[in-house]
Amino acid sequence: MTVSVIEQAKIQAQVLVPLVKALQAELGAARANAIVRNALGDLYRGFGEEFWKAKNEADLGKAVSSAFRTYARDDALAYDVIEQTPDAFAFNVKRCAYAEFYKALGEPELGFLLVCTADFATAEGFGPDVRLARTQTIMQGADHCDFRYRRDSGGAP
């Protein structure tokens, strides 16, 4: 049986939340958060690279749509697709169980650090020509998350 990403996030939070809070108390929030972002960034970039190689899909819209369905599994996310083309995948998340979970813990800032910042590192793993833009998240109090993946025509093929 495969554990969904939302369930993995809940399991990981049991260890990561107290660990990050201890690091913040010892090093200060800015330094601790930078260390966590860096460490998790490397991990998530690797996940993005592995996914991209395994997918072997030139169509960015199809590939990112497929990856996103993995994160949405088990009713973790409700979203509307705005655009899906070979060079773009844009969507708005309307409901996020990850944000609901971290808000129930009283730790939405840590949820943003541990979950939401992973999106950019994962996108970097998709290749040097893939860009993610996002201006807001539910985790930070917005009514939706606005994901915009695009292929940068100036990047490597």
User: Which of these, 149, 130, 156, 109, lies nearest to 49 by C-alpha position?
Assistant: 130
Rounded to whole angstroms, the Cα distance separating 39 from 45 reads 10
Mean pLDDT (10-residue bins), the chain, 157 residues:
88 96 97 95 93 89 91 94 97 97 96 95 93 97 97 63
Query: Which has the closest alpha carbon to 132: 95, 88, 98?
Result: 88
pLDDT of residue 155: 45
| pTM tops 0.85 | yes
Alpha carbons within 13 A on the beta-carbon side of 103: 12
CATH class of 5-151: alpha beta
Indicate the domain borders of the chain: 5-151
112 contacts 140 by C-beta, under 8 angstroms: yes
> Does residue 112 contact residue 137 with C-beta atoms inside 8 Å?
yes
